[in-house]
Amino acid sequence: MPSKIRTRYAPSPTGIPHIGNIRSALFAWLYARHNNGDFIVRIEDTDQARYDADAERAIIDSLNWLGLNQDEGPDVGGQYGPYHQSKRLDLYSEAAIQLVKDGRAYYCYCSSERLGEVRKAQQARKEPPGYDNHCRDMDFGANGDFTQFEGSTKNGVIRFKMPLEGVTTAHDIIRGEIAWENQLLDDFVMVKSDGFPTYHLASVVDDHAMEISHVLRGDEWLASLPRHWQIYNALEYEKPIFVHLPIILGTDKSKLSKRHGAASVFEYKDQGFLAEAMINFLALLGWSLDDRTELISLPELIESFTIERIGSSPAIFNVDKLEWFNGMYIRNLSNGDFIEKLSSFWQTDQTPNSFSSSHLEAIAPLVQERTKKLNEVWNQISFLEGDIEYPPIRLWSGMGDKKAQRAERDGTHIEIPENAPEVRNWLSVSLNTLEQLNEWEDEAMEESLQIVISNLGTKPRQLFGALRVAITGGVVSPPLFPSMKILGREKSLQRISQAIALLD
C-alpha cells in the first residue's frame, strides 16, 4: 500500500463536463475522503486547438457545486503544482528525451502526407491503422537531427518504441490482469510537433510526479492502459493502482448520449436538481452499498465507499431515477431549507424573484411534497402573485376533458364545448355559496362545495377541476382549498367571477 491515498480527476478542458466526467470525479473524491487521502484536480490542457476557457471554468464550478472540495488543483494550489499540464511541458520533454537516450523512443519526421499514404495502403489491405515504424531504426540522435531525413518537416514528433512481439499484461483492480497483443499496438506519439505531449505521456509523467496512488477513471481509458503500462516500465516508475469505472449506458443499453437526457451537469443544476441528490444518484452509477439501499447520505457514502463495491457491469443512467432521488431529497428538506433552496434557485434562474415571503412560507409546504425539480415550482405557485390569464378551454382541460387537453398540448384551436352554460352555472352557484361562508377555511369551503356538487348532479373531479383552473390558471397546482385560503377570500371570489365572465 502506498503511504498516502492520492486520487486525481484529470479532465480535458474541451467541453462542459458531462455525467461520465463528473462520476469519475465523484468516485475519485469519495475514495480519497474515505481514506483521509488527497483529491487532486489536474487540467489536461495539452490539446491547444481544442482548449476552451469556459470549459475549464465549468469543470471547477461543477466540482464546487457538488461540494467536491479539492486538496490540490488549479484553484487551490499545492506543492505538486502547477496543475495545468500546459505549464509542465519541461517535465514531459525531459522524460521523452530520456526515453530517446535509452533507446525506448525515437524521433519521427514523417510528413502528414506520408502518414496519410500509409493509412490508405493499410485500409486497402484491410489492416488495422497504425504507424509503419518507418523512423524506428533511423538514428536521429538524442536531440533529433531532422536534416538526415529526406523531405522531412522540421518539427518531428517523438514516438514510443512498443515491443514488436509478445503481450503487454496490465493490471486493473476491477478487471484483474488484461493482456494486449503488442503487434496491435503501434509506436504511438508521445510528443507532438508543437512540442506538447500527448495524453499518454503527460498522464503517466504527472500521475508519477504527483504521487497519485489510485487512478480512477472511466472505462473508455482502458484501451490506453497497455501504452501507459509500457511507459511506466520504460521510465522505471512505480505504477499506481488502476481502477477503470464501468461504462455508463442509457436505459436502452446504448452508449450514453444527450438522447438519454444525459446533459451537462449544469443543465441539471438549472432544472433544479439538488447537489445532494445528484451525488447520491451518481454514486450508484457503478458502485453500490449492498445491492438494495438507494438513499445514502454523503457521510454514509464517504464512510462506506470502497473499491471492492465498484462493479464491472455497465451502469444504467435513468433520468426518471434521478428525478425520483431529487424528489426524495426535496421532501426530506425542512420547510425552511426548501424555501431557502427555492429562493436561491430563483436567483440564478430567470424566474422573477418577487414572491412575497408570507405567501411563500404558506404555500411552500403544500408543494414541497410533490416537487421533483425546483423549476416546476414557480408555475404552480405564481397564481398567488399578480394576475392570471388562461384561455377558456383550459377550464375543460382542468375538468379532465381529453380533447381540450390535447388541443392545449398541441396548440390547436377547438370550439368551447356545448356544455359551457352548464359549467358557467356550476361556477356561479359555487361563487354564491362561497360568498356566504362565514369563515374562509379549507374545510368549510370543501363541505359547502360538496353540497353544491350533489345538488347540481356533477362530479367533484369536474367542479374542483374547473375551480382549480379558475383559481390558479393551471391544471396542476397545490391542493385547491389550501390554495384558496392562502390566496384569500376576496381574490378567490374575484377569480371565480373572472372565469364566469370568460364563459359569457
Question: Binds 10, which of Zn ion, ligand GLU, none (CB < 5 to 8 A, cut-off by type)?
Answer: ligand GLU
**Min. distance of Cβ 39 from ligand GLU in angstroms?**
13
- Tell which positions 213-232 bind ligand GLU, by CB under 6 A: 217, 221
**CA-CA distance, 361 to 352, in Å (whole number)?**
17
Nearer to ligand GLU, 203 or 326 (CB): 203
Contact between 12 and ligand GLU (CB under 6 A)? yes
Tell me how far apart the alpha carbons of residues 183 and 164 are, in angstroms, rounded to a whole number: 6
Displacement of CA 43 from its chain's centroid (Å): 19
Catalytic residue among 154, 258, 403, 459: 258
Least distance from Zn ion to the Cβ atom of residue 146, Å: 11
373 binds, among ligand GLU, Zn ion, none (CB under 5 to 8 A by kind): none
Distance CA 497, CA 123 (A): 77
**Which distant-in-sequence residues (6+ apart) come within 8 Å of 425 by Cβ?**
456
Kindly indicate which of the ranges 9-17, 96-104, 243-251, 332-340 contains the residues binding ligand GLU, using the contact rule CB under 6 A. 9-17
Instruction: Choose from Zn ion, ligand GLU, none: what does 108 bind? Cβ within 5-8 Å by kind.
Output: Zn ion
3-state class of 136 per DSSP?
Answer: coil
Query: Of these partners, Zn ion, ligand GLU, none, which one is at the site of residue 134 (CB under 5 to 8 Å by kind)?
Result: Zn ion
The yes-or-no answer on residue 258 being catalytic is yes
DSSP, collapsed to helix, strand or coil, labels residue 373 as coil
Say if residues 264 and 16 touch (Cβ distance below 8 Å).
yes
Question: What DSSP assignment string belongs to 17-51?
Answer: -BHHHHHHHHHHHHHHHHTT-EEEE-B----GGG-
Question: How far apart are CB 134 and Zn ion at their closest, in Å?
Answer: 5
| C-alpha span between 334 and 11 (Å, rounded) | 36
**Residue 135 interaction partner, one of ligand GLU, Zn ion, none, beta carbon < 5-8 Å per kind:** Zn ion
Q: How far is the CB of 16 from ligand GLU (least distance, A)?
A: 13
The site partner of 110 among ligand GLU, Zn ion, none (C-beta below 5 to 8 Å per kind) is Zn ion
* Alpha carbons 315 and 317: distance in angstroms, whole number: 6
Give least dist CB 314 to ligand GLU, A: 18
Any contact of residue 51 with ligand GLU (CB under 6 A)? Answer: no
**Quick one: 28 or 393, whose CB is closer to ligand GLU?**
28
Under rule CB under 6 A, residue 10 binds ligand GLU: yes
**Nearest in space to 107 (alpha carbons), one of 118, 99, 95:** 99
Q: Does 11 bind ligand GLU (CB under 6 A)?
A: yes
d(CA 143, CA 154): 13
| Window of 7-15, 126-134, 170-178, 475-483 that interacts with ligand GLU by CB under 6 A | 7-15
Residue ranges in contact with Zn ion by CB under 5 A: 108, 110, 134-135
Helices (H), 369-441: 377-381, 393-398, 402-410, 420-435
Quick one: 235 or 456, whose CB is closer to ligand GLU? 235
Q: How far is the CB of 85 from ligand GLU (least distance, A)?
A: 9
Look up residue 121 and give its amino acid.
A
Distance, in Å, from the CA atom of 91 to the CA atom of 210, rounded to the nearest integer, reads 12
> Does position 44 bind ligand GLU by CB under 6 A?
yes
Closest contact distance (angstroms) between CB of 109 and Zn ion is 6
CA distances from residue 382 to 242, 375, 476 in whole angstroms, order as listed: 52, 12, 12
Binding part of the chain for ligand GLU, among 8-16, 153-161, 296-304, 367-375 by CB under 6 A, reads 8-16
Q: How far apart are CA 21 and CA 502, in angstroms?
A: 53
| Site of grid cell 472540495 | 69
Q: Which residues bind ligand GLU (CB under 6 A)?
A: 10-12, 44, 199, 203, 217, 221
By annotation, the residues acting in catalysis are 258
